[in-house]
Amino acid sequence: MKAFVTVNLKAGVLDPQGKAIGHALNNLGFDGVTNVRAGKVFELDLATSDAVLARTQAEEMARKLLANTVIESFKVEIAA
Amino acid sequence: MKAFVTVNLKAGVLDPQGKAIGHALNNLGFDGVTNVRAGKVFELDLATSDAVLARTQAEEMARKLLANTVIESFKVEIAA
């Protein structure tokens, strides 16, 4: 079963990578872009076929390794 | 209006970052993790309030800057 963990900087935390991408898009002529935030997504293949267990495991992994919860928030989605 | 562009390595392209994360998770005791793929997600704030236009713009941005379409695929989602 697949789990998708999306990790983003918390609101209020400066995102220089996102800012740079935003400027680059503006310079390419995409004037309608007002703000960009860059994040990460991890696609995990899990041995379990129990969706509830998969979610619990993925959240634990996010807290322990995938996200720095001081400055980042994460979201877990489970797919079949 | 917000657009989320998710960029992932295409199937078949080696993902050393994902491999390293997978090993790290196994070493932390998460034995059920069989494979990890690491990707990026960009949250774009767009000036337009037209969802169709927002999608077209975001796809154009992905092709021109956000994704390297030789080795990466992307997916665009639009949120209000």
Interface with B, mutate which of A5, A9, A30 (most B CBs under 10 A): A30
The DSSP secondary structure of B1-45, one letter per residue, reads -EEEEEEEEPTTS--HHHHHHHHHHHHTT-TTEEEEEEEEEEEEE
The total of structural domains in chain B comes to: 1
Residue of B nearest to A33 (CA): B46
Query: In tens digits, what is the pLDDT along chain A, a chain of 80 residues?
Result: 999 999 999 999 999 999 999 999 999 999 999 999 999 999 999 999 999 999 999 999 999 999 999 999 999 999 97
Q: Chain B residues within 8 A (CB-CB) of chain A? A: 6, 8, 18, 21, 24-25, 28, 30-48, 57, 60-61, 64-66
By C-alpha distance, the chain A residue nearest B17 is A42
Range of the domain at B9: 2-79
- Top residue of B30, B50, B68, B73 to mutate, by most chain A CBs within 10 Å, is B30
pLDDT tens digit sequence for B26-65: 999 999 999 999 999 999 999 999 999 999 999 999 999 9
**Residue A78 is encoded by which pair of tokens?**
């489970």
* Token code pair at residue B29: 């005791």
Instruction: Report the CATH number at residue B17.
Output: 3.30.1280.10
Q: What is the pLDDT of residues B8-22, one digit of tens each?
A: 999 999 999 999 999
Of residues A28, A32, A64, nearest to B65 (C-beta): A28
